[in-house]
């Protein structure tokens, strides 16, 4: 009876061990099946515990980078396109005998505007492509103390233009640092029967003294004034869009060591070439897209062709990139330096 009880116990233990072994085997097979059907861990988990899991997306990023449009190719040397000088006529305007500034019309291709130095009133003259006289016109609301340069610039919309007259000369240092630039809507000289109207007097003062200046150009919504100092010309900037209600303090921009006096200036219509002239030289700077005038002028200028003139003070870019010059004197030559590139 005792031996039978022991045999029963041994049988029960053997059955229990077999059941346990079958349970372990079932668990292992289940784990293997789960691992085989799970996604690849490398595609769903991060390699770093500090970073969230990364997932792969087939949707392209719709964000595009904002960049300036590519500008047309131009020689890095701003003077390279200019290789010849042509005389296209004589200036016939009987009243224009001391030409100090000229500007090309932005609305009437081929026409130039010009003004005298200090021996005239507030008056502008219209010049044809061959130098012919298209009339002289007073400027209502303006006063001429010592006009030295002028410029043309875009108006309030693409179909209009403004003329800027720089009363900026101060040969005897008597202006106490105050100058005036007159902004006038550009008229059509062929239909104009009276004075130019709509004049706005933009009053400026230098931040650091008084200077004699003979060069002015308009770029990027600003008026730039260049002093006539031989050793170190100084460049200042003021707004071209003021309403004439107050006196604006000019901002100093940079200095230029050109070794000669600056007597005129202009900027190409595309804004990419700045030209200053002296009595015997024309200097040019290339202005890269997105660059400021200060950045451009801080580079080294090149020397462009300059006509042999008695006293050359006036220079103006044309719409095609060429430029023209006129000297002081009665019936001076009208020179053209074409854009040859």
Q: What is the pLDDT of residues 149-205, one digit of tens each?
A: 999 999 988 889 999 999 999 999 999 999 999 999 999 988 888 999 999 999 999
pTM equals 0.79
CATH of the domain at 259: 2.120.10.30
DSSP state of 139: B
**Based on the number of CB atoms within 10 Å of its own CB, is 27 exposed (0-12), middle (13-18) or buried (19 or more)?**
exposed
Does residue 244 form part of some domain? Answer: yes
Does residue 196 form part of some domain? Answer: yes
Does residue 32 form part of some domain? Answer: no
Three-point CA angle 260, 306, 327, nearest 5°: 85
Q: Which H/E stretch holds residue 180? A: strand 178-185
For β-strands 251-256 and 264-267, DSSP reports them as unpaired
Three-point CA angle 49, 52, 53, nearest 5°: 100
Does residue 302 form part of some domain? Answer: yes
> Residue 50's pLDDT band (boundaries 50, 70, 90)?
very low
Q: Which pLDDT tens digit goes with each residue over 254-274?
A: 999 999 999 999 999 999 999
Q: Which residue has the higher pLDDT, 62 or 98?
A: 98
Does residue 81 form part of some domain? Answer: no
Does residue 50 form part of some domain? Answer: no
Does residue 25 form part of some domain? Answer: no
Does residue 9 form part of some domain? Answer: no
Count of structural domains within the chain: 1
Of 225, 227, 221, which Cα lies nearest the Cα of 242?
Answer: 221
Q: Which pLDDT tens digit goes with each residue over 118-153?
A: 889 999 999 999 999 999 999 999 999 999 999 999
Structural domain of 152: 86-337
């Amino acid at each position: 009876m005792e031996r039978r009880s022991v045999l029963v116990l041994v049988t029960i233990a053997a059955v229990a061990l077999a059941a346990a072994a079958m349970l372990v085997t079932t668990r292992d097979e289940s784990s293997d099946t789960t691992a085989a059907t799970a996604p690849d861990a490398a595609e769903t988990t991060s390699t770093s515990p500090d970073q969230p899991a990364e997932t792969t997306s087939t949707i392209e990023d719709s964000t595009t980078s904002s960049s300036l449009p590519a500008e047309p190719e131009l020689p890095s040397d701003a003077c390279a396109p200019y290789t010849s000088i042509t005389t296209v006529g004589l200036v016939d305007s009987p009243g224009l005998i001391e030409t100090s500034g000229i500007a090309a019309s932005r609305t009437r291709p081929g026409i130039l505007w010009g003004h005298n130095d200090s021996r005239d009133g507030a008056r502008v003259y219209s010049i044809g492509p061959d130098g012919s006289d298209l009339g002289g016109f007073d400027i209502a609301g303006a006063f001429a103390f010592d006009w030295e340069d002028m410029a043309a610039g875009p108006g309030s919309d693409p179909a209009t233009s403004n003329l800027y007259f720089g009363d900026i000369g101060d040969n005897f240092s008597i202006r106490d640092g105050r100058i005036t630039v007159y902004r006038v809507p550009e008229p059509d000289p062929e239909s104009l029967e009276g004075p130019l109207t709509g004049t706005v007097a933009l009053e400026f003062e230098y931040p650091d003294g008084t200077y004699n200046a003979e060069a002015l150009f308009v770029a990027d919504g600003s008026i730039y004034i260049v002093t006539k100092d031989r050793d170190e010309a100084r460049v200042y900037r003021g707004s071209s869009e003021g309403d004439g209600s107050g006196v604006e303090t000019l901002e100093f921009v940079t200095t230029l060591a050109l070794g000669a006096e600056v007597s005129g200036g202009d900027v190409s219509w595309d804004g990419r070439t700045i030209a200053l002239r002296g009595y015997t030289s024309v200097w040019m700077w290339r202005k890269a897209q997105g660059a400021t005038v200060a950045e451009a002028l801080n580079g080294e200028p090149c020397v462009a062709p300059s006509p042999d003139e008695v006293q050359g003070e006036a220079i103006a870019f044309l719409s095609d990139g060429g430029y023209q010059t006129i000297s002081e004197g009665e019936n001076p030559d009208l020179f053209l330096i074409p854009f040859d590139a």
